[in-house]
Every structure is written in structure tokens, then in C-alpha cells.
Amino acid sequence: MSPCGKLFYVRVKQLNDAWAFYANCLGMATEATMLHGEEKGILVKADEETNIFLSERKHQNQTNKIVLNSDDCLEEYCRLKSRGVIFKKTPSYLSEGLSAEFSDPSGNDFIILEERNYNED
């Protein structure tokens, strides 16, 4: 996945289940952390520049839709599929490029997006 410099705050039902999914299924680096020294959470390094902060509590700036940029959506799709990730449907074409969607156990939606410049020579 390519750098995009983002931090997503994501609410999950159970940190333990989330840790298993993000670390084992998605193969992302995870680290247990505390927010403001009191709230337990997990910091997930989705790629070089994208971090996801998982917590069980509700926050104002949380999102349930995370876009992960990729250089090659089909490669990412097959890699994750072979690790047991269930995709909502097969990769499909958008005006921006190629995308594939899946959800985590808490119902947060992930979109792998390979942006394509169709006007390029």
C-alpha cells in the first residue's frame, strides 16, 4: 500500500477480536496503546503513512469507512483473500480506478483503492 499520510480513528466492538483480525488476517503491525493515559486502544500501522487507532469507546472524529490506497489492487485482494479476509464482492472498476471492499468484525468498511489516471499518455 502506498503512502497517503492519514490517521483514522475507528470504533470496534472488542479490542481482542480486532487485534486478531488486524494482525493475523490483514497482517498489519499492531501495538497496544493508551489514549490520554486512560483509554485502552490499539494502534495499527496499515502502511508506511497510514495509521488506524482502534478503540471500544465512541469519539466524535471516528469513521467507519477507511480507504487504503494501493499500487496494485488485485495483488492486495489476492494477498488478503489468501489470509482469510472475506470481500463483499470481487474487485470492481470505479471512475477513480480499481477497488475492492471488505469489513472488519465490527462492521467497519475498508476500501482498497488503486487510483488510476486514465488521462495519462
Binding site for another protein (CB under 8 A): 72, 74-75, 77-78, 81-82, 91, 93, 97-98, 114, 116, 118, 121
Tell me how far apart the alpha carbons of residues 109 and 9 are, in angstroms, rounded to a whole number. Answer: 13
Q: Which is nearer to another protein, 61 or 82 (CB)?
A: 82
Q: Least distance in Å: CB of 100 to another protein?
A: 11
Tell me how far apart the alpha carbons of residues 101 and 95 are, in angstroms, rounded to a whole number. Answer: 16
Phi, psi values for residue 106, rounded to 5°: -95, 0
Q: Least distance in Å: CB of 95 to another protein?
A: 11
Q: Which is nearer to another protein, 77 or 110 (CB)?
A: 77
